[in-house]
Chains A and B, each alone.
Chain A
Amino acid sequence: MATVTFDHATRLYPGTERPAVDQLNLHIEDGEFLVLVGPSGCGKSTSLRMLAGLEDVNGGRILIGDRDVTDVQPKDRDIAMVFQNYALYPHMSVADNMGFALKIAGTPKAEIRQRVEEAAKILDLTEYLDRKPKALSGGQRQRVAMGRAIVRQPQVFLMDEPLSNLDAKLRVQTRTQIASLQRRLGVTTVYVTHDQTEALTMGDRIAVLNKGVLQQVGTPREMYDQPANVFVAGFIGSPAMNIGTFQVKDGAALVGNAQVPLERTVVDALTEADGGKVTVGFRPESLDVVGSGTAGSFQVEVNLVEELGSDAFVYGSLKSDVGASDLSAGDSDQVIVRIDPREVPMKGDTINVAIKPGQSHVFSAATGNRLS
């Protein structure tokens, strides 16, 4: 068991201008489950591979415990890694796959057998120990890959999108299994995923990366409630947060026909670079459907209603007298509103919504950083 520290760790691929990972500073506590999340190409896998020793570190240091492992070979780092495609040795049985690292390390045969059997019991693989990987299903292969890591009893587990090759149902099931297994074993774990749902459900803390730069680190709740900038706000949460840039007038943002009051501190924090504008974000569930004419409410024209049973989401466009606005949520340029699934408006209706007090997120229009 150990802590993991990235100290200004940088990776610059030869022949590229921009570092794949730029000055990453991150401290992971002993026994913590940290999820690295971000869109594809954000440097999360590269960070993990740097920790594994599979990528060179061009600047800064990486420490496991108090030991500087920046230039240490992967085999001497005492880590175990679960790969996206599992990387099982096709010519070895499940038992040999799981015991390979111990065999390399020269552990006595009896002990290997015992540890493999223990791990197989935990993962429900006992009856498959003599099979070859090709005779296993996707979920079983995934468990063998996990088993290979567990048997090692390493200081750190590294997992590189281990669930992305499973079907949706198995993924949800395995997600909880991995999380509870990690809590039980108490091994420091770094987990890479592009799926923010996985990140929110599994991690003790989440680190969001974008374009090689760390955006924010925090618990799932913090990430959801207090996103540090526009990128994190838009990335975390499903459906995505509604985010738009609006004019500021008399200490309030003009959202459609409504005036959303801003706090004093926010208005004071505006600079010239913002050009009298501010970026406001609010989650679909932060909106209340209200009667028309309510103060601070704005109109949304319903384009589509998505019913999920427990919830219903309205996808609509903002109606505004002051010209088109750029309010959007995620990839769609529509406003998403969560509504009571028993009172669903028709397509083409117009509903009045208001932001619940204290549930709006205000960011600088120029820098994208949080103001409120």
Chain B
Amino acid sequence: MSRDVTEPAVVPAGVTSTPAPTARRGLGGRAAKARRRLSNPWASGIAICLAVLWSIPTLGLLVTSFRPELDIRRSGWWTVFGDAAAGEGVFTFRNYETALFGSSTSLADYFINSVVITLPSVLIPISVALLAAYAFAWIDFPGRDWLFIVVFALQIIPIQVTMIPLLTTYVNVGINGSFWPVWLSHSIFALPLAIFLLHNFMKDIPPSLVEAARVDGAGHVKIFFRVVMPLLVPAIAAFGIFQFLWVWNDLLVSLVFAGGTPNVAPLTVRVAEMAGSRGGDWHILSAGAFISMIVPLIVFLSLQRYFVRGLLAGSVKG
């Protein structure tokens, strides 16, 4: 933490001509400097522009989903604001009713399917990866490093390549048409990254902590549940959110492994179908799209604290 060494690195070329009182200013000075540098008005402006640009389509979708079918066909969603100001704006929940409970769409069923698919697809890889990561991090068995490299290298294989063989296997085993193919596939695809991430977090736990637990009389099982797991909560949360968003938004895997059987297909598959078969029914489509977005939105907004912390925790100590 030698300030004097790091200081010159952050002073840009143009400023070096000023005599350096940096050492004297100390920590407060450094914090102020960091704040100045990070709060550049241009950078903030660009960031805000990007945020607005990226949110506009979502906003449009949200507004559209509440408009009557006729209005959607007649004018763009942005005209709503003018109409509302003139007291003529019309909003309705009809679209959501039709999308959720209409006999031809019935997204409510698919919504439940999505939940049933997502929860095990998050829990299975986390549980397995935690155990594997613990073994890779704290149990010294022969060939450990090689096995770890092999597991991580599995990331290289594109999931598209594995789909046909996997599907054939599922059909042969006879679990095709149930939720199992989707659960298993999501778990399989998530495991290499999950093991790698959690292993890195586990390696960050000071070895003396595990040794202290061993001397205190704990075996591997107790060390895992009493010492390691509580310390890994941020990492587990981060990966859990990541995997949840991935599985909930996934179309490819569920289309391949559950697309043929509507009673196990998730929301995304149904919404995609609607876009294809009902390209004209914008009112139902926009409501359906928003129904499938709302859960990840809530999950992300409520847990983003853990998400950011989890991503940072691996790189910065303390």
Give chain B residues whose Cβ lies under 8 Å from the Cβ of A75.
214-219
Min CB distance A102 to B, Å, is: 9
Whether B34 sits at the interface, judged by CB under 8 Å, is no
| 8 A Cβ contacts from A277-336 to B | none
Of all chain A residues, the one with the shortest Cβ separation from B211 is: A54
Classify chain A's interface size: 20 to 34
Give chain A residues whose Cβ lies under 8 Å from the Cβ of B218.
75, 100, 104
Classify chain B's interface size: 10 to 19
Scan A78-106; emit 1 where CB is below 8 A from any B CB, else 0. 01110111010111000000001100110
Q: Is the CB of B231 within 8 A of A90?
A: yes
Q: Is the CB of A81 within 8 A of B231?
A: no
Whether B303 sits at the interface, judged by CB under 8 Å, is no
Q: Is the CB of A85 within 8 A of B206?
A: yes
Inter-chain CA distance A148–B216, complex, in Å, is 9
Whether B230 sits at the interface, judged by CB under 8 Å, is yes
Q: Is the CB of A83 within 8 A of B211?
A: yes
> Chain B: interface secondary structure?
helix
Given A75-B219, A101-B217, A105-B217 in contact, is the A87-B231 Cβ separation under 8 Å? no
Q: Is the CB of A104 within 8 A of B208?
A: no
Q: Which of A75, A90, A91, A101 has the most CB of B within 10 A?
A: A75
Give chain A residues whose Cβ lies under 8 Å from the Cβ of B214.
53-54, 73-75
Q: Is the CB of B215 within 8 A of A85?
A: no
Whether A52 sits at the interface, judged by CB under 8 Å, is yes
Inter-chain CA distance A319–B213, complex, in Å, is 59
Q: Is the CB of B222 within 8 A of A81?
A: no
Q: Is the CB of A74 within 8 A of B231?
A: no
Scan B213-251; emit 1 where CB is below 8 A from any A CB, else 0. 111111100100011001100000000000000000000
Whether B209 sits at the interface, judged by CB under 8 Å, is yes
Whether B59 sits at the interface, judged by CB under 8 Å, is no
Scan A94-127; emit 1 where CB is below 8 A from any B CB, else 0. 0000001100110000000000000000000000
Give chain A residues whose Cβ lies under 8 Å from the Cβ of B209.
87, 89
Inter-chain CA distance A87–B231, complex, in Å, is 13
Whether B212 sits at the interface, judged by CB under 8 Å, is yes
Inter-chain CA distance A89–B208, complex, in Å, is 10
Q: Is the CB of A87 within 8 A of B217?
A: no
Of all chain B residues, the one with the shortest Cβ separation from A90 is: B231
Chain B interfacial positions (CB closer than 8 Å to A) = 206, 208-209, 211-219, 222, 226-227, 230-231
Known: A81-B211, A89-B209. 17 other contacts (CB 8 A): A54-B211, A74-B211, A74-B214, A74-B215, A76-B217, A81-B212, A84-B208, A87-B206, A87-B208, A87-B211, A89-B213, A90-B231, A91-B230, A100-B216, A101-B217, A104-B216, A104-B218
